Structure 1
Amino acid sequence: MSGGADDDAVFKALADPTRRSLLDALHARDGQRLHELCAPTGLSRQAVAKHLAILEDAGSASTTSAASTPSPPSRKLWRPKDERARPTESSPSSTTACTSSPTGAPAR
């Protein structure tokens, strides 16, 4: 990602507390299915899927196939993608702090 519209999409995606919480969950445990991400939020599968799609469009999350696992309810595994939106050790689990500034310089 390099500036402009890409940064706007990331900031828009991270503006929502539910999406920050989902991203925190992905960073806490890589490779989760949709139903695993729904449980702690209390939201429907459709609502969580919509939030995840926004994170994916912003380049903050991605999916891989879980075809090697036995008949799961969802065959997609969600993973964090953009390291700029990784939670810092001091951030509470309900918020996500960026580890770098929008320019790519390390945060202080």
Structure 2
Amino acid sequence: MKENVQIEKTVTPMLFPFDPDQYWQRIRLIIREEVTNVEKSKPAQPLYETPGMTYKPLLKLVEVCDLFQVTKPTIYDWIRHGKLKRCKIRSRVFFLWNDIQELLKTEEGRKD
């Protein structure tokens, strides 16, 4: 014989005065606000810094392209014409930060 067992619903006491739906709605709102604040505080231009160093001694090709706002073929053309020197480390190409600074100074001098 099977016994009829009735399970009673117990009400759990609430520890905070919010309906669960209201609670999650508020949490979502807080998260959205925080994400918006973080996105607003991001710098407009990429930072070419390495934590713990005062400057980044080597830059990748992509970083140089972003810095000068030019394409890779332009950078290769600058290398070919001696405007920019490259450093090859194994199969990768890097650029010295000091060389980039010199090129930036000459570019600024031409604009003035």
TM-based fold match above 0.5:
no
Larger radius of gyration: 2
Looking at secondary structure, tell me which structure has more helix per residue. Answer: 2
With the shorter chain as reference, the TM-score category is 0.3 to 0.5
Q: Provide TM-score, normalisation by structure 2.
A: 0.32
Q: Provide TM-score, normalisation by structure 1.
A: 0.33
Greater relative contact order structure (CA < 8 Å, 6+ sep): 1
